[in-house]
Amino acid sequence: MNVLRVESQPFEGQKPGTSGLRKKVRVFETPGYLENFVQSIFNTLGDCSGQALVIGGDGRYYNRVAIQTILRMAVANGFTRLIVGQGGLLSTPAASCVIRKYATRGGIVLSASHNPGGPDEDFGIKFNGDNGGPATEGVTDAIWQASKEIDHYLTLESLDVDLDRLGESRLEGAVIEVIDPVADYADQMEALFDFPKMSALVRNPKFRLCFDAMHAVTGPYAREIFENRLGARPGSVVNADPKEDFGGGHPDPNMVHAHELVALMNGDDPMDFGAASDGDGDRNMVMGSGFYINPCDSLAVLAANAHLVPGYRDGLAGVARSMPTSRAVDRVARELGIDCYETPTGWKFFGNLMDAGRITLCGEESFGTGSDHLREKDGLWAVLFWLNIVAEEAKPASEIVRDHWQRFGRDYFSRHDFEGIDSDAATRMIATLEEKLDTLPGQTFAGLTVESADSFSYRDPVDDSVSTGQGLRLFFNNGGRVVMRLSGTGTSGAALRVYYDLYQVDPALLGQPAQVALAGLIDAADEVAGIRKYTGREAPDVIT
The set of catalytic residues is 113
Q: Contact residues for ligand G1P (CB under 6 A)?
A: 18-19, 113, 322, 345-347, 364, 366, 368, 487-489, 497
Give residues 77-136 in contact with Zn ion (rule: CB under 5 A). Answer: 113
In whole angstroms, what is the distance from residue 101 CA to residue 122 CA?
Answer: 30
Question: What 3-state class would DSSP assign to 503?
Answer: strand
Bridge partners of 417, per DSSP, are 497, 542
Minimum CB–partner distance for residue 471 and Zn ion (Å) = 20
In whole angstroms, what is the distance from residue 121 CA to residue 389 CA?
Answer: 38
Question: What 3-state class would DSSP assign to 544?
Answer: coil
In whole angstroms, what is the distance from residue 320 CA to residue 359 CA?
Answer: 7
Minimum CB–partner distance for residue 496 and ligand G1P (Å) = 10
Q: Dihedral of the CA atoms 212, 213, 218, 219 (nearest 10)?
A: 100
Stretch that binds Zn ion, among 132-140, 217-225, 263-271, 283-291 (CB under 5 A): 283-291
In whole angstroms, what is the distance from residue 74 CA to residue 81 CA?
Answer: 9
Element (H, E) at 439: none
Stretch that binds Zn ion, among 231-239, 278-286, 294-302, 352-360 (CB under 5 A): 278-286
Partner touching 488 among Zn ion, ligand G1P, none, CB below 5 to 8 Å by kind: ligand G1P
Minimum CB–partner distance for residue 435 and ligand G1P (Å) = 22
Minimum CB–partner distance for residue 112 and Zn ion (Å) = 8
Residue 252 contacts Zn ion per CB under 5 A: no
Partner touching 346 among ligand G1P, Zn ion, none, CB below 5 to 8 Å by kind: ligand G1P
Contact 92, 66 (CB under 8 A): no
Residues near Zn ion (CB under 5 A), total: 5
Q: By C-beta, is 64 or 497 nearer to ligand G1P?
A: 497
Minimum CB–partner distance for residue 229 and Zn ion (Å) = 23
Residue 284 contacts Zn ion per CB under 5 A: no
Q: By C-beta, is 97 or 498 nearer to ligand G1P?
A: 498
- Amino acid at the residue 100: R
Q: How many angstroms separate the most distant Cα atoms in the chain?
A: 73
DSSP assignments along 228-282, one per residue: IIS-PPTTSEES-S--TTGGGS----STTT-HHHHHHHHSSS--SEEEEE-TTS-
Gyration radius of the chain over CA positions: 23
Stretch that binds Zn ion, among 262-270, 275-283, 310-318, 439-447 (CB under 5 A): 275-283
From candidates 212, 224, 282, 372, binder to Zn ion by CB under 5 A: 282
Partner touching 311 among Zn ion, ligand G1P, none, CB below 5 to 8 Å by kind: none
Contact 527, 445 (CB under 8 A): yes
From candidates 122, 194, 252, 280, binder to Zn ion by CB under 5 A: 280
* Residue nearest Zn ion, CB atom distance: 113
How many C-beta atoms surround the C-beta of residue 518 within 10 A? 21
Partner touching 280 among ligand G1P, Zn ion, none, CB below 5 to 8 Å by kind: Zn ion
Partner touching 155 among Zn ion, ligand G1P, none, CB below 5 to 8 Å by kind: none
Partner touching 347 among Zn ion, ligand G1P, none, CB below 5 to 8 Å by kind: ligand G1P
Minimum CB–partner distance for residue 86 and ligand G1P (Å) = 25
In whole angstroms, what is the distance from residue 451 CA to residue 476 CA?
Answer: 5
In whole angstroms, what is the distance from residue 410 CA to residue 154 CA?
Answer: 55
In whole angstroms, what is the distance from residue 383 CA to residue 236 CA?
Answer: 14
Partner touching 455 among Zn ion, ligand G1P, none, CB below 5 to 8 Å by kind: none
Minimum CB–partner distance for residue 271 and ligand G1P (Å) = 26
Partner touching 487 among Zn ion, ligand G1P, none, CB below 5 to 8 Å by kind: ligand G1P
Q: By C-beta, is 87 or 368 nearer to ligand G1P?
A: 368
Exposure b/e, 288-323, CB count within 10 A at least 16 = b: bbebbbbbbbbbbbbbbbbebbebbeeebbbbbbbb
Mask of contacts with Zn ion, 401-440, x by CB under 5 A?
A: ----------------------------------------
In whole angstroms, what is the distance from residue 336 CA to residue 333 CA?
Answer: 5
Phi, psi (deg, nearest 5) at residue 407: -80, -40
Q: Where are the alpha helices (DSSP H) in 410-462?
A: 423-435
Minimum CB–partner distance for residue 283 and ligand G1P (Å) = 7
Residue 58 contacts Zn ion per CB under 5 A: no
Catalog residues that contact Zn ion under the rule CB under 5 A: 113, 278, 280, 282-283
